[in-house]
Copies of this chain bind each other. A is one copy, B any other.
Amino acid sequence: MSKTSLFLKTGLGALLLLSGPAMAQETPEFAKAMDTTFIFNTLLFLICGFLVMWMAAGFAMLEAGMVRTKNVSMQCLKNIGLFSIAGLAYWLVGYNLMYDGVDGGYMGSFSMFTTPDPSEDAGSYAAGSDWFFQMVFCATAASIVSGTIAERIKIWPFFIFTALLTGFLYPITGAWKWGAGWLQVANFQDFAGSTLVHSVGGWAALAGAVILGARVGKYNKQGQVMPMPGSNMPLATLGTFILWLGWFGFNGGSQLALGTIADASAVARIFVNTNIAAAAGVVAAITLTQLMYKKIDLTMALNGALAGLVSITAEPLTPSMPAAAFIGAVGGVIVVFAVPMLDRLKIDDVVGAIPVHLLAGIWGTLIVPFTNGGATYGAQIIGIVAIGAFTLTASTILWYALKLTIGIRPSLEDEVAGLDTAEVGLEAYPEFGQGSQRI
């Protein structure tokens, strides 16, 4: 990082400077479009990639805020662990399974992604920046699962499932569309992953929630729902803001290019629509909960934002702003109705990830043809059903296999005592309140 080496490194510019400004003006050396395009595209992947990486912290905070104190350390551990495991699994298996030679088919090759040699960085972006951007998407799918099945799963089966989800399940369905597989051929459209990322996470979460069963005490013998309020609302709020911020990277980066005026304008429109959809999701959720319950529900407002974001993710570019507001608002409405509906079905989704990521993801994918003339409702339904069927089936098999082998659920005593004590050995807030005495 010495200033000397900087001059040596930035070859061309420095050379021109050394020859003096007068001479530089006489013989101006122009920037090659190939170079600036490459740099802009790479920069887009890196910036949007770090924003999506930051979403891992958003999920961690959202979930840490929505579980009871006795399971907060566990939830933190799951989140730092899953992001790490996802990064390794996507490198060892996932990326090439998703992108390498899919060619209209069902999956790519079983080979490891290797850091490109400098000399191999041909193309219109740095291969490393693309891997980084795709990897954080993969990790997002795993984050979704973590929230739904919180407070009642052992740590190692969760980590094993994460490795399989991010190494195999997500990459396979990803290959179908983004890897230029059969769903791409079938004209299924999913710009940034309402289905490929969010619904995949949601289906995997749903399978887990059903197989695990509800938390002890969540549904009593009379069939009533016992509220188990989250322990830290500002953390949940912080998590939501982090996710909102990260989503600009999630959707904006999915334009995949920034090297032309058209691409830059597209990324800008995506930012606008992403924000409008989230805002509309919040306003829909707060208005609706006020009307239905005479009070605004903060957690519904937060999930309304997320549902708006998931909804616009399948097509953040073509909608006009009113259309984006409509798409996001319906997302918010879905959450308000789906959360109690899941409770009636006794599916215990701790953070509301199934309504937010699965249902709003389906909605967002379905509505693509409303604004994108190149999409068809038929192809959208095929994609939603195919990816759902695969992910739900494969997840169910995996969860059952884990259940039958190492077991997935802690003992009743451990669950009542809290997983922080039983599995992590570390209370999240050792000096506050009565955490572990509560069910």
Quick one: CB contact mask for A28-46 with B, threshold 8 Å, 1 for yes?
1111111111111111011
Contact B257 A179 (CB under 8 A): no
Quick one: CB contact mask for A132-161 with B, threshold 8 Å, 1 for yes?
101100000000000000000001100100
Contact A301 B431 (CB under 8 A): no
Instruction: Decide if A386 is an interface residue (CB 8 Å cutoff).
Output: no
Nearest B residue to A177, CB-CB: B2
Instruction: Decide if A83 is an interface residue (CB 8 Å cutoff).
Output: yes
Contact A81 B231 (CB under 8 A): no
- A194 CB to nearest chain B CB (Å): 12
The interface residues of chain B lying within 8 Å CB-to-CB of A135 are 275
- Known contacts A232-B428, A232-B429, A272-B128; is-contact A242 B57 (Cβ 8 Å): yes
Contact A115 B425 (CB under 8 A): no
Instruction: Decide if A367 is an interface residue (CB 8 Å cutoff).
Output: no
* A1 CB contact (under 8 Å) in B28, B68, B231, B254: B254
The interface residues of chain B lying within 8 Å CB-to-CB of A50 are 51, 245, 248, 271
Contact B46 A114 (CB under 8 A): no
Contact A237 B9 (CB under 8 A): no
Nearest B residue to A231, CB-CB: B431
Contact A234 B269 (CB under 8 A): no
- A391 CB to nearest chain B CB (Å): 18
The complex places the Cα of A123 from the Cα of B32 at a distance, in Å, of 20
Instruction: Decide if A382 is an interface residue (CB 8 Å cutoff).
Output: no
The complex places the Cα of A259 from the Cα of B127 at a distance, in Å, of 17
Nearest B residue to A302, CB-CB: B80
Nearest B residue to A59, CB-CB: B241
The interface residues of chain B lying within 8 Å CB-to-CB of A260 are 10-12, 35, 39
Of A199-207, A211-219, A278-286, A333-341, the segment with at least 4 beta carbons within 8 Å of chain B is A278-286
Nearest B residue to A89, CB-CB: B279
- Known contacts A12-B37, A124-B7, A260-B10; is-contact A245 B275 (Cβ 8 Å): no
Instruction: Decide if A109 is an interface residue (CB 8 Å cutoff).
Output: no
The interface residues of chain B lying within 8 Å CB-to-CB of A425 are 293, 295, 297
The interface residues of chain B lying within 8 Å CB-to-CB of A88 are 276, 279-280, 283, 325
Nearest B residue to A128, CB-CB: B268
Instruction: Decide if A258 is an interface residue (CB 8 Å cutoff).
Output: yes
- A68 CB to nearest chain B CB (Å): 7
The complex places the Cα of A276 from the Cα of B90 at a distance, in Å, of 11
